[in-house]
Amino acid sequence: METTSTPTHCPYCALQCGMNLSPTPEGGVEVTERVDFPVNRGALCGKGRTAPAVLSSRVRLTSPLVRSGGTLVPATWDEALDRIAGELGAIRAGHGPDALGVFGGGGLTNEKAYTLGKFARVVLGTSQIDYNGRFCMSSAAAGGIKAFGLDRGLPFPLEDIPKTGCVILVGSNLAETMPPALRFFTELRENGGTLIVVDPRRTRTAEQADLHLMPRPGTDLALALGLLHLVVAEGRVDEEYVRERTSGWEEARAAAMAHWPEHVERITGVSVPQLREAVRMFCEPEAAMVLTARGPEQQSKGTDTVGAWINLCLATGRAGRPLSGYGCLTGQGNGQGGREHGQKADQLPGYRKLDDPAARRHVAEVWGVDPDSLPGPGRSAYELLDALGTDIRSLLLMASNPVVSAPRAAHIEERLKSLDFLAVCDVVLSETAALADVVLPVTQWAEETGTMTSLEGRVLLRRRAITPPEGVRSDLEVMHELAARLGVEKGFPTDPEEVFEELRRASAGGPADYSGITYRRLVEENGVFWPCPAAPATPTAPTTSASAMDDDGEDAGLDVFPEDPARDEAAPVHPGTPRLFLDRFATDDGRARFVPVSHRPAAEEPDEEYPVFLTTGRVVAQYQSGAQTRRVDELNAAAPGPFVELHPRLAARLGAAEGDPLAVVSRRGRAVAPARITTGIRPDTVFMPFHWPGEGRANTLTNPALDPTSRMPEFKVCAVRVEVVER
Ligand code: SF4
């Protein structure tokens, strides 16, 4: 039967659930079930189901806005683009290229992330580019590269989870952040496997666990060391695996043996019997996994914490073997691809290092520039934002809302206000866009085609299903227009497939090699796992392509992604790589590296003045800074605002009742939200979701102390005092 629906993917989290978009009689679009995508098999959470509401939102921007006399007023595209190009050119002339900051997002498609990095380095010549993915999974990425030589969030597909024997899930509330993923863990338990959840809160995810460990915030590293100590003490080390496939064991072993279980119990609050039970559950099955998320990663020792959990996997022979391994559950929609293609301060496309001369030569050749003209690494996300208004005089920002999502957010808001010039591309007037000098209204997920790389490392094609409204343009068109105005005569490509063809060449031979992937393959194969090198040779010239839609806005199907005419039909095609490290790790000697790590406290511990831990996180009906989901009535009704979750014992001490307004005060500021009293949290800890601006903004409180390797801020733990607000 003929169908007019378009198979595509959700605009939000890194699960990238498949969905169909079908036109409605009213001229809109609705989400319908898409069962052929194996990750979600048709299931969606409320965010994905209601995503079309943002496309037709009454607060959707459809005209550029330019600040005039202190107010943002509608302007033509030429006026807005001329203003941006003029301001950036003048600031560069007066202060040098590094006075121009660029900030991207983990929601940008691979094509946009790639083009943004190229735009910053080739057109602006600035080193000052980073993105909000730094706040997401950078500690896991750094830990993975140290241990395995390569970071790909999950080195195995999600479908392996139900077949393993035990999963330790550290600091993930996936039942709320990506609900369809919960089925993999339900199936694991139905198959006889066990689930251990590590979280200071009894979340909906923790309720599913066979064993729930509730450590004090900021002590996940000590917990992993305690488990490794017991693995050694109980003779559970896989000696042959350690000998054959790893290096550095003796130093890591010595570090773990210095952390006696009783000592770990005092640090973490997790009892020795619970530690022993976790070790038994993890070590007895043939195969097991450790999966981390933001809980252990968003700490000022996030990289070492990830390293400690990887050490546990290595000592027990749980990495690079079937149905076993360490993985990170990346959060943002394109958090994985966004870190591979050059919008990160220290990276070039293909996950190449910006300070690697060979990488610079390769990418410069693809870009047609002198490698010596490419700037070196710049500041990390928080450091970049913190420098706004000092040596960084302007910022071009895409797909991010740091006024809500950055740590120490009130300070970052002031830094944004102190800029000479701020330009923001967004679909609505976010809290950050409201501060801008120019706001450009851009197309959304369903209105454009592009690739996303899911948390599995599966590259996917998100397809255009509807025609964008009059007045908006794609981020690629914005960068093309600005490049043309700033001296690149032909501008940049605006067709996503043409950009992807260039990205393929730029990534060829790099750690994240996409050179064997084509749009056509993505459609035919329902996504392809990287690395996927071209075989036998990388195309040398971009192909041209049509959009995924014909001019009528009607889905034109596979024909719009033509076969490369240069392709040899008989040549072998690389199948992609769903499972990494089965033969060797991506290190020089093929061995995984233990990293010796020791416990150290959080950058800020409770004291007399600030006696309680604050930890932050997400709720099921909102996504990240809420810029999109707060504009959806159904989601707002389900999650209308922030709250302070606290234990009855702490509430009693404060004299707080359910719903009372509580002021949460840290060294960085004060936030107010109603009390939500539950026994599902440690009595020494309060929790706030971070999706909202204003009085209840959780990130007013959070600590920007940075991990020395990943430069991840310590979102997950700081010290606060809590007071009932008299009203
Ligand atoms: Fe979208 Fe994530 Fe929800 Fe799936 S789980 S529908 S990808 S927000």
Per residue in 365-409, pLDDT (tens digit) is: 999 999 999 999 999 999 999 999 999 999 999 999 999 999 999
Answer whether residue 277 is part of any domain.
yes
Ligand 1 atom having least distance to the Cα of 48: 6
Distance 721 CA to ligand 1 centre (A): 35
Q: Which three-class secondary structure state does DSSP give residue 135?
A: helix
Question: Does 159 lie in the same domain as 258?
Answer: yes
Question: Is 115's C-beta closer than 6 angstroms to any atom of ligand 1?
Answer: no
Instruction: Report the separation in Å between the CA atom of 176 and the middle of ligand 1, taken as the mean of its atom positions.
Output: 10
Give domain status of residue 575, yes or no.
Answer: no
ipTM value, please give it. 1.00
| Same domain flag for 166 and 313 | yes
Residues 6 or more apart whose Cβ sits within 8 Å of residue 383: 706, 711
| 298 found inside a domain | yes
263 and 301 assigned to the same domain: yes
107 lines ligand 1 (CB under 6 A): no
Q: Helix or strand or coil: residue 663?
A: strand
User: What is the DSSP annotation of 159-199?
Assistant: GGGGGSSEEEEES--HHHHSGGGHHHHHHHHHTT-EEEEE-
In the β-sheet with 29-32, what is the strand arrangement from edge to edge?
6-9, 18-23, 29-32
pLDDT at 552: 38
Give CA angle at 402 (400, 405), nearest 5°.
100
Whether residue 25 is contained in a domain is answered as yes
For residues 359 and 474, state if they share a domain.
yes
> How much distance in Å is there from the Cα of 64 to the middle of ligand 1?
30
Residue whose Cα lies nearest atom 5 of ligand 1: it is 178
- Name 68's Cβ contacts closer than 8 Å, sequence gap at least 6: none
Q: Which pLDDT score is estimated for 388?
A: 98
- Tell me the C-alpha distance between 136 and 330, whole Å: 7
> What is the Å distance from ligand 1's center to 622 Cα?
11
Q: Distance, CA 29 to ligand 1 centroid (Å)?
A: 18
Q: Are residues 161 and 302 in the same domain?
A: yes
| Same domain, residue pair 173 and 258 | yes
Nearest CA to ligand 1 atom 4: 17
Residues 6+ apart with CB under 8 A from 62: 441, 469, 470, 471, 472
Helices 302-315 and 249-257: angle between axes, nearest 10 degrees:
110
Helix (H, G, I), strand (E, B) or coil at 614: strand
Residue 694: how many CB atoms within 10 A of its CB? Answer: 13
CATH number of 548's domain = 3.40.50.740
262 Rama sector, left if φ>0, alpha if ψ -120 to 50, beta otherwise: alpha
**194-198/166-170 β-pairing:** parallel
Tell me the CA–centroid distance for residue 103 and ligand 1, in Å. Answer: 24
Distance CA 80, CA 88 (A): 12
With beta carbons less than 8 A apart as the criterion, state whether 497 and 558 touch.
Answer: no
Q: Which domain holds residue 286?
A: 138-329+585-593
**Quick check: CB of 12 below 6 Å from ligand 1?**
yes
pLDDT at 593: 98
Q: Which of 8, 9, 12, 32 to mutate to test the pocket of ligand 1 (most atoms within 8 A of CB)?
A: 12
Would 565 be classed as within a structural domain?
no
Q: Which residues lie across from 71 on neighbouring strands?
A: 68
Residues 548 and 662 in one domain: no
Ligand 1 proximity of 180 Cβ (cutoff 6 Å): yes
Which protein residue's CA is at the shortest distance from atom 1 of ligand 1? 48
pTM of the model: 0.94
User: Are 640 and 676 in a shared domain?
Assistant: yes
Ligand 1 atom nearest the C-alpha of 11 is 1
Q: How many Å lie between the centroid of ligand 1 and the Cα of residue 211?
A: 26
* Same domain assignment for residues 143 and 88: no
CA distances from residue 278 to 189, 273, 285 in whole angstroms, order as listed: 15, 9, 12
How many domains does the chain fold into? Answer: 4
Residue at token pair 């330790």: 168
Q: Shortest CA distance to 172 belongs to which of 160, 182, 162?
A: 182
Residues 195 and 311 in one domain: yes
Domain boundary among 55, 76, 91: 55
CATH number at residue 23: 2.20.25.90
Distance CA 445, CA 461 (A): 11
Distance (Å) from CA 624 to ligand 1 centroid: 12
The residue nearest atom 2 of ligand 1, judged by CA position, is: 13
Task: Measure the CA–CA gap between 156 and 325, rounded to whole angstroms.
Answer: 8
Token pair belonging to 400: 């991010």
CA–CA gap between residue 77 and residue 65 (Å, rounded) = 9
Stretches in the chain below the pLDDT threshold 50: 1-2, 536-556
- Residue 144 Cα to ligand 1 midpoint, Å, equals 25
Q: What letter does residue 526 receive in the DSSP assignment?
A: T
- Domain annotation covers residue 571: no
Pocket test for ligand 1, best of 49, 54, 178, 184 (most atoms within 8 A of CB): 178
The CATH number of residue 194's host domain is 3.40.228.10
Q: Among residues 444, 506, 493, which one has the least CA distance to residue 469? A: 444
Whether residue 450 sits in one domain with residue 349 = yes
Q: In this structure, are residues 458 and 157 in contact, taking their beta carbons and an 8 Å threshold?
A: yes
Among 8, 9, 15, 453, the mutation site with the greatest number of ligand 1 atoms within 8 A of its Cβ is: 15
CA 436 to chain centre: 24
- For residue 23, the model assigns a pLDDT of 85
From the CB of 174, is ligand 1 less than 6 Å away?
no
What length does the chain have? 727
The tokens 């919008």 sit on which residue?
343
On whether residue 262 sits in a domain, the answer given is yes
In a domain, 665, yes or no: yes
Tell me the chain's radius of gyration from C-alpha atoms.
25
**CB of 48 closer than 6 angstroms to any ligand 1 atom:** yes
* Burial grade of 579 (CB within 10 A; 0-12, 13-18, 19 or more): middle
> Is 345 in contact with 118 (CB distance < 8 Å)?
no
Q: Are residues 145 and 262 in the same domain?
A: yes
User: What is the DSSP-derived secondary structure letter of residue 581?
Assistant: S
